Chains A and B, each alone.
Chain A
C-alpha cells in the first residue's frame, strides 16, 4: 500500500513563486519513489504589500491552517504531513515533519513603513508569532532547516534544535534523482 504524503505550503496567488517550483520538484521525487503525493495550499495574505494588510491577517491564515483536518482524504489516511513555509507548519497532524525553506517572511519594517533601522523592538505580533512557531515546531516529529542561518534563528527564538537539510544544489528541475536521495530519506524517515 503506498503511503500518502500531503505537502503543505503557503500560496502566492497571481505571483511567480520560486517556492512552488521547489514543491513541484519535491513532489516529483516523492512520486518517483512510489509515494502518493498531494498538496494543500492556503493563500499567504500576510505577504501583501502595505498599506493593505493589517497584522491580524498574519494570524488569520495561521488559524485557518490550524482548523483544517488533514489526517485523511475521503477516509483514506494521510500518513505524513510535510510543511515548508510560514504559516503552513502550524497545521496539525500526528506525523508532521517540518522542512523550513526560504520564505519572504513578513518584515515589520515594511509593514510599518519605517525606514530601515537596527533590530526594532519586538512587537506583540512578533511575540505571538514566536510563540506559535515554538508550539508548531515542538509538535513536529522532525524539524529540518535548509540553511544554517535559519537553524540558528530557530534555536535563538524557540530553543529548539533543527537538523540541517539543504536543498539539492543547482536547478531543482534538472537535478539528478540521486541529489534528492538524502532529502527524501530524511523527510520520510518517520514513516
Chain B
C-alpha cells in the first residue's frame, strides 16, 4: 500500500481526461481504473472530463485553449493537491502540481502523418501552422509537468523523438484484473476492440482466409468498419467462419478469453493495448504483426505468441495454423505470456504518480519520480 503524506484531510487528486462524446474505449477504462485505485488508497478524486472532439483544425487549438482556461487549483475553497492529466489535450491544463501520464498525444501530426491514419498534410500551409502550434503546446504543457509518465514505451519513445522530452513508461493492469481465467483452447481466435481501420481487423479476416485449418474467428466490438469486414469476409469466402459478436458484456468477454485458442491483436503501432494483457492473463497466446508497436513490448515470436508480417496475410494464416495444429504450443505460449505480465500492479502505478506530491509534503523538492 502506498504511504500517503500525513495531512489533516485526504489529499485531493483531479484526474483529467479528454472525452469523445458517445464513445467509450480503452482510454476511458484506463482513467476509471486510476480513479478507482486512487480512491481505494485514500485519495479524494474527481474526474475532469472535457469533451475533446473536433471537425476543423482550428477547433483542435480552441480545445487546447479551453483546457488551459480551467481553474483546478481549488474546489469549494479547498486546494486540489494534484492533477494527473492523461490524453491530449487534457495535459494542457494548468496546475501548480501537475503530473502527466500520457495515453495519447495527437498522433496524426507525429508518427501517423503520411499514413492512411492521418489526413494532415505537411505541404499544406494551414496544416503546417496547426502542426507547429500543437507541437509548441505539447512541448510547453508536457514540459511544465512535475513528472512525466506514459502508458507504454512506445509513447515515451515518441515523446522523446518528437518533443525532446523524457518520460517513464508506467504499465497498469487491465480492467478485470483478478477475474481472467483459462477454460481450455477452443476452435476460434478472438479479436477484441473497436472496429476501426487502425485496429486492422481486416488482416484477421485475410489471415483466416489464408489459413489451411478450419479455425474460426470471433470479433467482439462495434465500430464503423463492421460492414466492410462483413463484405471482405464474404468476398474471401470465410463469412461462415467469422462471427461479428458486436458489443459484449464483461462476463461474455471474460468467457470468450477463457475459451479461445488464441487472441489476435495487430493494430497499427498501438501504444499499449489492454488486449495483450487480457489475453496473457487468460493464458492465451497473442498473434500480432511486426508493426503493432507497443504490443511487441510484451509479445515475443515463438515464446508467447506469433509475430506476423502485416504486408503478408499468409504469415497470419500460418500462425493460426500453427496454434490450431499444436494445442500444447498454444498452452505453453499462453503460460509464458501470463508470467510476462504478472508483475503489473496498481500499487506501483499509484506510488509513482503520487511520488512527487508525497516528496513535497515530506519536505523534499517535489522533483523526481518519473522524468521532470
Residues of A in contact with B (beta carbons under 8 Å apart): 4, 6, 11-15, 36, 38, 40-43, 45, 47-50, 52-53, 57, 60-61, 63-65, 67-76, 78
B70 proximal to A (CB < 8 A): yes
Task: Report yes or no: A13 in contact with B46, Cβ–Cβ below 8 A.
Answer: yes
Q: B23 — nearest CB in chain A belongs to which residue?
A: A74
B66–A64 touching, CB < 8 Å: yes
- The answer to whether B51 and A68 touch across the interface, beta carbons within 8 angstroms, is yes
* A72 vs chain B, min Cβ distance (A): 6
Give 16 CB contacts A-B under 8 Å.
A13-B75, A13-B80, A14-B12, A14-B75, A43-B72, A45-B71, A47-B76, A52-B74, A60-B71, A61-B71, A64-B67, A67-B69, A68-B62, A71-B55, A72-B53, A73-B22
In B13-50, the 8 Å CB interface with A consists of 14, 19-23, 44, 46, 48-50
A138 to chain B, nearest CB (A): 22
- In the bound assembly, the distance between CA atoms of A57 and B65 in angstroms comes to 14
A-B CB proximity, top 5 nearest: A73-B21, A49-B77, A13-B46, A45-B71, A64-B66
In the complex, besides A14-B46, A14-B80, A52-B73, 6 extra interface pairs with C-beta distance below 8 angstroms are A40-B50, A45-B70, A45-B71, A69-B53, A74-B53, A78-B22
Within 8 Å by CB of B50, from A45, A53, A68, lies A68
- Assuming the contacts A15-B75, A74-B53, A76-B22, asked whether A69 and B59 have C-beta atoms less than 8 A apart, the reply is yes
CA distance A67 to B56 in the complex (A): 12
A67 touches B65 (CB 8 A): yes
Q: Judging by beta carbons under 8 Å apart, are A13 and B55 in contact?
A: no
Interface contact B22-A43, CB-CB below 8 Å: no
What total of chain B residues lie within 8 Å of the partner, measured CB to CB? 34
Pair B22/A42 contact, Cβ less than 8 Å: no
User: If the complex has contacts A14-B12, A14-B44, A42-B50, are A69 and B21 also in contact, measured as CB distance less than 8 A?
Assistant: no
Verify if B356 is at the interface (C-beta below 8 Å from A).
Answer: no
Bound-state Cα–Cα, A70 to B21, Å: 8
- The smallest C-beta distance from B74 to any residue of chain A, in angstroms, reads 5
Known: A12-B75, A13-B75, A49-B76. A73 touches B20 (CB 8 A): yes
> What is the CA–CA distance of A24 and B275 in the complex, to the nearest angstrom?
31
Q: Which residues of A contact B51 (CB under 8 A)?
A: 6, 40, 68-70, 73
With A43-B75, A47-B76, A60-B71 in contact, do A68 and B66 touch (Cβ < 8 Å)? yes
Cα of A41 to Cα of B54 in the assembled complex, Å: 17
Q: Give the interface SS of chain A, mostly helix, strand, loop or mixed.
A: mixed
How many residue pairs link A and B with beta carbons under 8 A? The number is 112
Q: A48-B74, A68-B63 known; A73 and B53 CB under 8 Å?
A: yes
B75–A69 CB distance below 8 A: no
Q: How far is the CA of A170 from the CA of B63 in the complex (A)?
A: 39
Q: Does B1 contact A (CB under 8 A)?
A: no
Known contacts A42-B70, A61-B69; is-contact A48 B21 (Cβ 8 Å): no
In the bound complex, do residue B21 and residue A38 qualify as a contact, i.e. CB atoms below 8 Å apart? yes
Q: Say whether, besides A45-B70, A48-B74, A60-B71, A40 and B55 are in contact (CB < 8 Å).
A: no
Residue of B whose beta carbon sits closest to that of A14 = B75
Task: Find out whether the CB atom of A12 lies under 8 angstroms from the CB atom of B76.
Answer: yes
B59: A residues at CB distance < 8 A: 69
- What's the nearest-Cβ distance from chain B to residue A79, in Å? 11
For the complex, is B78 an interface residue (Cβ under 8 Å from A)?
yes
Query: Nearest-CB distance from B8 to chain A (Å)?
Result: 16
- Interface centre among A15, A45, A74, by most chain B C-beta atoms within 10 angstroms, is A74
Q: How far is the CA of A64 from the CA of B67 in the complex (A)?
A: 7
Give the residue among A40, A41, A48, A64 with the most B Cβ atoms within 10 A.
Answer: A64
Q: Which residues of B contact A60 (CB under 8 A)?
A: 69-71
Q: For residue B66, which residues in chain A have a CB less than 8 angstroms away from its CB? A: 63-65, 67-68
A40 touching B54 by the CB < 8 A rule?
A: no
**Interface pair B19/A40, CB less than 8 Å apart:** yes
- Contact partner of A4 among B22, B48, B65, CB < 8 A? B22
| A40–B69 alpha-carbon span in the complex (Å) | 16
Residues of B within 8 A of A78 (CB): 21-22
Whole-angstrom distance between the alpha carbons of A6 and B20 in the complex? 11
